[in-house]
Amino acid sequence: MVEAHSPRPKRAAATGRPRSSSRAMLAEAAAELFLEQTYGGTTVDDIARRTGVSRATFFNYVGSKSDLLWLEVDEALAAFDATAASVSRDLAPMEAVLEAMTRLADGFGPGRLPLAVTQVDLMGTDAELQASALPRFLALVRRLQSFIAARSGASTDALLPRAAATAVVGAAVSAATAWARAGVSRGPLTPLVRTAVAPVCAGFAPHLP
């Protein structure tokens, strides 16, 4: 009788685990496997087996294997709208953009850098990182575009908010790339993002009310 009912508590515990901790558990197991057998040599089934969950459960927590490379980034991007909304409305539109991007960068540090970025060569994640970065880049552009339009009183589809958002995100990504490649000597991300984004914001500022 005990053996017949023993699986039930385990199933309930897995179901009741907070979603964020479950994703972190999958990401940790995936990182181990990517180091052992590269990203391309690791399947979803491999990760599921390493964590003791089913394939269906895996997809209940993440949409794809590549999502595990971006866990920290996706969490920060999910909170971007709230972060941007907390910026003082007394600031001019592009000053507000600089502040919002600075606050976004504040969420990252040497200890919160995805392992897949620091171990690109060992894990073989370079091609996948480039491919899966694009939709995240575009999603942030859209959010920033809406923010700039709202702060400047322009239409969301207007050219200047779109151009400004694309340029700002491009500058921020350049800073993040340089930061990730700096190795063990890397410091905080925020100063690099501010250095890269500030000139872009200054250039667009006169053109936005």
Q: Taking a C-beta distance cutoff of 8 angstroms, is the pair 199, 174 a contact?
A: no
Q: What is the pTM of this model?
A: 0.79
Q: Taking a C-beta distance cutoff of 8 angstroms, is the pair 179, 186 a contact?
A: yes
Digit-coded pLDDT (tens) for 48-62: 999 999 999 999 999
Q: Is the dihedral of CA 1, 53, 62, 73 positive or negative?
A: positive
Separation in Å, CA 153 to CA 99, 119, 142, 181, 207:
19, 44, 16, 38, 12
DSSP structure class, residue 133:
H
Question: What's the CATH number of domain 70-207, 3.40.50.450, 3.90.850.10, 3.40.190.10, 1.10.357.10?
Answer: 1.10.357.10
- For residues 143 and 120, the model is more confident at 143
Cα separation, 61 vs 18, in Å, equals 10
Residue with tokens 């690791």: 42
Residue 2 banded pLDDT, cuts 50, 70, 90: very low
* Domain range annotation of the chain: 2-64, 70-207
Report the CATH number of the 2-64 domain: 1.10.10.60
pLDDT of residue 21: 59
Task: Report phi then psi at 172, rounded to 5.
Answer: -65, -40
pLDDT of residue 174: 93
Tokens representing residue 127 in the block:
């091609």
Digit-coded pLDDT (tens) for 142-198: 999 999 999 999 998 999 999 999 999 999 999 988 887 777 777 888 999 999 999
Residue 131 banded pLDDT, cuts 50, 70, 90: confident
Residue 69 in this model has a pLDDT that exceeds 60: yes
pLDDT of residue 8: 37
Give buried/exposed letters for 160-186 (b at 16+ CB in 10 A, else e). bbbebbbbbbebbbebbeebbeeeeeb
| Average pLDDT over every residue of 79-96 | 95
Residues 6+ apart with CB under 8 A from 155: 149, 161
Residue 3 in this model has a pLDDT that exceeds 50: no
Residues 6+ apart with CB under 8 A from 45: 55
